[in-house]
Copies of this chain bind each other. A is one copy, B any other.
């Protein structure tokens, strides 16, 4: 559909020179698949993502297999992909998960908190404070072992049960995670309802509460088509860590090819058009998502993947 030389590279003022993409497709994407993807396919996916230039690839989750059977192969998978040169963070829900991850040599882990009571109850079966109490020794232990720790905060911009989420409530969870030692936060718009002013207001509030922008990543969903506009706002605020999912893997469960995570390709198109370095080869990344879509037997919801793959036909 497009000729060479597109997008035209035209930088904008006051944007970062480089963005680190935190690729979540292999974990956040594949954990939402109805049936588990074979371990060898997952490993090949992660290898191809690294080959496309992604430097931070969330690999899997050391959650109990009963809760997320799709990622029950974490012990088999992780050794297959270590040594790629990419950072490979893994999710750990508790001390047991952390022990399993550390035993395999993981040096980057993430805990997954909620900004709302409803989602903490639904997802973790605990109150917000109870879940923070569980994470505290996990984070401390991980730090003692020299691991880098990321703190996810979900439902930062809205909650399917509670609706609007007060900003100070989000900030309280964020600062608690940081106080216990998290190196980095990831602000999740789990249901995709945020708009750019909301993003800027939360970032400013976090700064006021002492959280520096360089410790904040953003994790937007495209459920309402807002993810890239919200990303632009975050970049304008100075954020340089952006979560995205190759091919947009990890959609809402309710619709075929529905959109959940921001697609890495759509993000890279914008960043490269803005002259922002990512280290990613968009052609190789798109080819990886086309390959995975064939394995999953449904088209990628990424608009860039669709446009570029039709171009090649």
Contact = CB atoms under 8 A, between A and B. Distances in A.
Binding site of A, secondary structure by majority: helix, strand, loop or mixed?
loop
A1 B163 contact: no
Interface in A187-229: 191-198, 200-201, 222-226, 228-229
Contact of A273 (B7, B191, B194, B275): B194
Contact of A307 (B159, B223, B228): B223
Contact of A232 (B232, B258, B272, B303): B232
Contact of A161 (B3, B157, B194, B198): B3
Interface in A11-45: 11-12, 15
A226 B163 contact: no
A118 to B, nearest CB: 9
B3 A159 contact: yes
B7 A223 contact: no
A3 B160 contact: yes
A67 interface: no
Contacts of A158: 2-3, 6-8
Interface stretch (A89-97, A175-183, A263-271): A263-271
Interface in A160-174: 160-165
A231 interface: yes
Interface residues of A, number: 60
B270 A226 contact: yes
A304 interface: yes
A195 B10 contact: yes
Pick the 3 closest A-B CB pairs, nearest first: A195-B273, A3-B163, A12-B197
Interface of A: 1-8, 10-12, 15, 157-165, 191-198, 200-201, 222-226, 228-229, 231-233, 252, 254-255, 258-259, 263, 266, 269-270, 272-275, 302-304, 306-307, 310
27 contacts: A1-B191, A2-B160, A2-B163, A3-B160, A3-B161, A4-B163, A5-B163, A5-B164, A6-B158, A8-B157, A8-B158, A10-B197, A195-B270, A196-B232, A196-B270, A197-B274, A197-B275, A222-B303, A223-B303, A223-B307, A225-B228, A226-B228, A226-B266, A226-B273, A228-B229, A229-B229, A229-B270
